[in-house]
């Protein structure tokens, strides 16, 4: 029922769940660095110190100088309509606070990584890792994660490149824009990682602060591991060849 609410738009979509313990620590750290580096240490859904400035910029028609923190993005993706209105923003705020009080922070991030859109009808890091890179989400490299961060919130022009990788059709205006976002993420995320503890031996201070321990690839097999390519991903790759 939840999938129907999120994705029930009559279009083909791929969405397979992966538990957070099976997600590459590189992906966890890169997501936090790119989207919400304060999530591991914040006890609220929003950064209230930034909220007033964000609201003022929204009312003035200016860009958000900070971007929405992960709980706010999750509340929008799970429960709300996509229209950019003041009412929706207000409800986002309330639901984001409820999420962080009802769920562990690790669960909030797990849900976010499972509903984030990484391409046309492509939801969640399980399917994105297999579709673009031909690997489970516990084996992604640093650069794999940077590229996925550059795709958020899911461009309609992203496709799997022949033989694997991401093709955004850079010959088009939209493609050049998306490629610019990917290259921007390749520069921005490492800077944010360094600013938040650097690439420590256990993969990153950000991932450690969230409370995620151990290598994802060494976790024992179990439900939600996403270590076998989902059938829907395999079918899409075959259809696109």
pLDDT, mean of residues 84-90: 60
Residue 106 pLDDT grade (very low, low, confident, very high; cuts 50, 70, 90): very high
Q: Identify whether the C-beta of residue 145 lies closer than 8 Å to the C-beta of residue 35.
A: no
Tell me: the pLDDT tens digits for 108-159? 999 999 999 999 999 999 999 999 999 999 999 999 999 999 999 878 899 9
Write the Ramachandran bin of 84: left for phi over 0, alpha for psi from -120 to 50, otherwise beta: beta
Tell me: the pLDDT tens digits for 60-69? 555 555 568 8
Higher model confidence: residue 29 or residue 92?
Answer: 29
Residue 74 pLDDT grade (very low, low, confident, very high; cuts 50, 70, 90): confident
> Domain ranges in the chain?
2-240
82, pLDDT greater than 60 = no
pLDDT, mean of residues 97-105: 77
Of 192, 182, 227, the C-alpha closest to 17 is 227
Which pLDDT score is estimated for 230? Answer: 97
Which pLDDT score is estimated for 10? Answer: 45
- Dist. CA 75–CA 91, nearest whole Å: 9
Tell me: the pLDDT tens digits for 166-216? 999 999 999 999 999 999 999 999 999 988 887 665 456 888 888 888 899
User: What residues form DSSP beta bridges with 123?
Assistant: 15, 117
Which pLDDT score is estimated for 16? Answer: 95
SS3 142: helix
Quickly count helices (H) and strands (E) in the chain.
11, 5
80, pLDDT greater than 70 = no
- Dist. CA 174–CA 11, nearest whole Å: 21
- Dist. CA 196–CA 188, nearest whole Å: 12
Give the dihedral of Cα atoms 152, 154, 159, 164; nearest 10 deg: 40
Which pLDDT score is estimated for 172? Answer: 94
Strands 166-167, 159-160: pairing is: antiparallel
Burial class (CB in 10 A: 0-12, 13-18, 19+), 148: buried
Q: Which two tokens stand for residue 63?
A: 């860009």
Which pLDDT score is estimated for 130? Answer: 99
For 39-48, 85-94, 178-187, 225-234, which range has the lowest pLDDT when averaged over its residues?
A: 85-94
What CATH code is assigned to 2-240? 1.10.3810.10
Which pLDDT score is estimated for 7? Answer: 46
Tell me: the pLDDT tens digits for 208-240? 888 888 899 999 999 999 999 999 999 999 999
Q: Which two tokens stand for residue 94?
A: 């309330």
């Amino acid at each position: 029922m939840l999938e129907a609410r999120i994705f029930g738009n009559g279009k083909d979509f791929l969405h397979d769940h992966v538990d957070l313990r099976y997600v590459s620590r590189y992906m966890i750290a890169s997501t936090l660095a790119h989207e919400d580096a304060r999530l591991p240490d914040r006890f609220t859904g929003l950064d209230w110190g930034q909220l007033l400035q964000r609201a003022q910029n929204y009312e003035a028609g200016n860009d958000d100088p900070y971007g929405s923190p992960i709980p706010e993005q999750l509340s929008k993706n799970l429960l709300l309509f996509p229209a950019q209105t003041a009412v929706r923003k207000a409800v986002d705020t309330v639901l984001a606070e409820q999420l962080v009080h009802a769920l562990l922070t690790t669960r909030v991030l797990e849900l976010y990584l499972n509903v984030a859109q990484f391409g046309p009808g492509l939801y969640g890091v399980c399917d994105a890792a297999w579709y673009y890179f031909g690997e489970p989400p516990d084996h992604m490299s640093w650069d794999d994660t940077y590229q996925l961060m550059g795709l958020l919130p899911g461009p309609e022009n992203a496709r799997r490149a022949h033989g694997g990788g991401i093709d955004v059709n850079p010959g088009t205006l939209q493609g050049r824009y998306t490629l610019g976002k990917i290259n921007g993420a390749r520069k921005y995320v490492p800077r944010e990682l360094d600013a938040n503890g650097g690439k420590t031996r256990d993969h990153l201070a950000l991932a450690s602060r969230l409370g995620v321990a151990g290598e994802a690839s060494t976790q024992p097999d179990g439900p939600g591991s996403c270590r076998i390519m989902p059938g829907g991903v395999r079918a899409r790759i075959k259809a696109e060849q």
